[in-house]
């Protein structure tokens, strides 16, 4: 066993995390669910969602049999909604193609919807005892600092070298503990903002610490100015109900429900009246800025008190009372807009 692996495993026995809800199990469904939820999301945020998912979908078969809208509703607020759609598709693929059980080979796991190499390896390691490395954000940070790896770790060439390094450091046995130790060290000690180098079992030969470059490594993603977008959404209300409409499967908030949008530059009242609405009061609500990975969106909501709706509703539109909005599959910014109008939100 390499000295790197030995130190990590010894540290994990003393300082690692041992009581997270998805630990101490070899159930691929639970491990997979946690791995998907933890992508770009902190543990404290994931824990309540993980519990609600297992309460509603105790088995993979339950998840596969559920309507996708119910899955999206439970995911509402967790962000990166493609994960929820892929989660549902993956559950159905496992049922249809593998008889309801995850394959044990990492390559076969990675062929399932929404599962990349690192997640596939983690499932194989924790559930089937496979010897394989992972390379999530925490592990990348640990390796970049310890070895002094230059460049943005998401760049293809840098990532390829990190995979080689991760493979070379694998112990012959106890791989599950070793992989967990890497993740725990990155999450709790070798953190992005306030690393605790004095508590790190790798500190004595860490290149970043020796060269006083902890704040520089790993290198940040090359910065680009985020494009700005604006959208005017309508909180159309009548008789204590609000109108929501289903978003297209592709694009932002795909598959979720949102407030109707007004075309850029259109007059909201004229737009609605041309579609058969009779509009009473129409006033702006406070704007809301939401930052996505690739652009910044400014939402400009309008409260519209409708006196009469068109006789025929447009496809995918739903009138919901305040008590029904809570369980609707809403993106977090839309839930915030409605929270100021209705008693909704978690």
Residue 302's domain is classified under what CATH number? 3.90.79.10
Q: Are residues 172 and 237 in the same domain?
A: no
End-to-end CA distance of the chain: 47
Q: Are residues 264 and 174 in the same domain?
A: no
Q: Are residues 88 and 57 in the same domain?
A: yes
Q: Are residues 32 and 83 in the same domain?
A: yes
CA distance 50 to 42: 12
**Is 0.85 topped by the overall pTM?**
no
Residue 266 lies in a domain: yes
Residues 6+ apart with CB under 8 A from 186: 136, 137, 138, 139, 141, 142
Residue 345 lies in a domain: no
- Token readout for 51 is 């519990």
Residue 5 has pLDDT above 70, yes or no: yes
Residues 6+ apart with CB under 8 A from 320: 241, 242, 244, 328
Which of 3-7, 76-80, 220-224, 250-254 has the highest mean predicted lDDT (pLDDT)?
3-7
154-177 tens-digit pLDDT: 999 999 999 999 999 999 999 999
Confidence of residue 313 (pLDDT cuts 50, 70, 90): confident
How many helical (H) and strand (E) elements, i.e. helices and strands, does the chain have? 15, 8
Question: Which CATH number characterizes residue 175's domain?
Answer: 1.10.340.30
Secondary structure of residue 53 in the 3-state scheme: helix
Q: Are residues 15 and 107 in the same domain?
A: yes
Domain that holds residue 100: 3-210
Strand locations in the chain (E): 228-238, 241-246, 257-258, 261-262, 278-284, 288-291, 296-308, 317-321
Cis peptide before 83 (omega within 30 of 0): no
Residue 62 has pLDDT above 60, yes or no: yes
Q: Are residues 102 and 184 in the same domain?
A: yes
Question: How many domains would you assign to the chain?
Answer: 2
Average pLDDT over residues 249-261: 88
Active-site residue list: 35
Query: Are the C-beta atoms of 308 and 278 separated by less than 8 Å?
Result: yes
Which residue from 343, 1, 2, 5 is spatially nearest to 201, judged by alpha carbons? 5
What per-residue confidence (pLDDT) applies to 115?
97
Q: Are residues 191 and 267 in the same domain?
A: no
Residue 47 lies in a domain: yes
What per-residue confidence (pLDDT) applies to 156?
96
Residue 346 has pLDDT above 50, yes or no: no
Secondary structure of residue 4 in the 3-state scheme: helix
CA 151, 153, 157, 162 dihedral sign is positive
Residue 261 lies in a domain: yes
Residue 294 has pLDDT above 80, yes or no: yes
């Amino acid at each position: 066993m390499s000295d790197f692996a030995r130190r990590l495993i010894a540290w994990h026995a003393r300082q690692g995390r041992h009581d997270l809800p998805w630990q101490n199990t070899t159930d691929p469904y639970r491990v997979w669910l946690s791995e998907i939820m933890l992508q770009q999301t902190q543990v404290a945020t994931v824990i309540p969602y993980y519990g609600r998912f297992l309460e509603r979908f105790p088995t993979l078969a339950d998840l596969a049999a559920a309507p996708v809208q119910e899955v999206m509703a439970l995911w509402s607020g967790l962000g990166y909604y493609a994960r929820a759609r892929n989660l549902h598709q993956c559950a159905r693929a496992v049922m249809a193609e593998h008889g309801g059980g995850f394959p044990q080979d990492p390559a076969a796991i990675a062929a399932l919807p929404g599962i990349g190499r690192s997640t596939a390896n983690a499932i194989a390691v924790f559930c089937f005892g496979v010897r394989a490395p992972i390379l999530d954000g925490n592990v990348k940070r640990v390796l970049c600092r310890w070895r002094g790896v230059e460049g943005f770790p998401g760049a293809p060439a840098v990532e390829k070298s990190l995979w080689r390094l991760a493979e070379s450091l694998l112990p012959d046995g106890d791989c599950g503990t070793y992989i967990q130790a890497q993740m725990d060290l990155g999450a709790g000690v070798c953190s992005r903002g306030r690393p605790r180098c004095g508590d790190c079992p790798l500190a004595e030969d860490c290149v970043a610490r020796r060269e006083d470059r902890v704040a520089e490594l790993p290198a940040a993603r090359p910065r680009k100015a985020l494009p700005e977008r604006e959208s005017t959404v309508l909180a159309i209300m009548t008789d204590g109900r609000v109108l929501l409409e289903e978003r297209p499967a592709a694009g932002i908030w795909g598959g979720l429900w949102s407030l109707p949008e007004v075309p850029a530059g259109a007059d909201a009242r004229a737009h609605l009246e041309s579609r058969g609405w009779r509009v009473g009061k129409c006033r702006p609500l406070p704007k809301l800025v939401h930052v996505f990975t690739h652009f910044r969106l400014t939402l400009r909501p309008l409260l519209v008190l409708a006196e009469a709706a068109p006789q025929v509703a447009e496809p995918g539109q739903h009138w919901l009372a305040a008590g029904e909005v809570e369980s609707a599959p809403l993106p977090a910014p839309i839930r915030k807009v409605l929270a100021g109008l209705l008693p909704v939100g978690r």
